[in-house]
Copies of this chain bind each other. A is one copy, B any other.
Amino acid sequence: MLDGLMSDYPFLKMLDEEALAIIERNLVQKKVQAGELLINGEEACWGFSFIKSGVLRVYRLNDEGREVTLYRLRKGDSCFMTVICALAQSNTHAYVRVEEDSELVILPILLFEKYLMNHPVYLQFVFKNLYEKFLSVIQVVENVTFNSIEQRVIDYLQEHSRGGLLYRTHEQIAFDIGSTREVVSRTLKSLERKGKVKLERGKILIKK
């Protein structure tokens, strides 16, 4: 099972054979479906997930009960919450919801702490991975600061659509570009009137 993970998680190649054998014996495969809540704010320390496919969304609830997306995890990504959890020895009050059907391979937390949390190559990997996420959030701030809302929506549609189609709610788009659902809906309707998009239930068609 590890062989299949090594191309996306190259730090595994640096572990010694004994560690790899122990890890391999203890990995648990799990398929999860879009919409499922994987972690409900209290059990973030159960293990480290390798992501083979799909998308997970990690978020918190703020004081007013609003969801605040921290980041999305895909193939090759690392669940930073697990690392923080292991460092702080306490839960992180994060929520994780499956955004697209995903295949995970889970390493129990005790093995994670023993074999990965003390390994420089793993820690360097996870730092680099977090730094990339950090830069992408900076990009959101930069867009919010310098671009008009209409331009931000257009850039977003172009970046995330496949074959002229985008399956996202207005609320998801709003958080990703740093706006509110109301403003995104208004902007999309204006783009529809201009003939640039067609809005349908649960999806957006982008016209040439």
Q: Which residues of B contact A88 (CB under 8 A)?
A: 128
Report if A87 contacts B (CB, 8 A).
yes
Report if A137 contacts B (CB, 8 A).
yes
- The answer to whether A62 touches B145 (Cβ under 8 A) is no
Number of interface residues of A (CB under 8 A): 37
- Using A70-B138, A130-B131 as known contacts, say yes or no to A144 and B87 having CB atoms under 8 A apart: no
Q: Which residues of B contact A45 (CB under 8 A)?
A: none
How many identical subunits does the complex contain?
2
Q: Which residues of B contact A142 (CB under 8 A)?
A: 62, 68
- Using A120-B119, A180-B145, A180-B146 as known contacts, say yes or no to A84 and B128 having CB atoms under 8 A apart: yes
Closest B residue to A120 by CB, please name it.
B118
Once the chains are docked, how many angstroms separate the CA of A142 from the CA of B146? 17
Q: Which residues of B contact A128 (CB under 8 A)?
A: 84, 87-88
Closest B residue to A86 by CB, please name it.
B124
| Interface 0/1 of A135-150, CB less than 8 Å to B | 1011011101110000
How far is the CB of A134 from the nearest CB of chain B, in Å?
5
| Interface 0/1 of A108-143, CB less than 8 Å to B | 000000000111100110111011011101101110
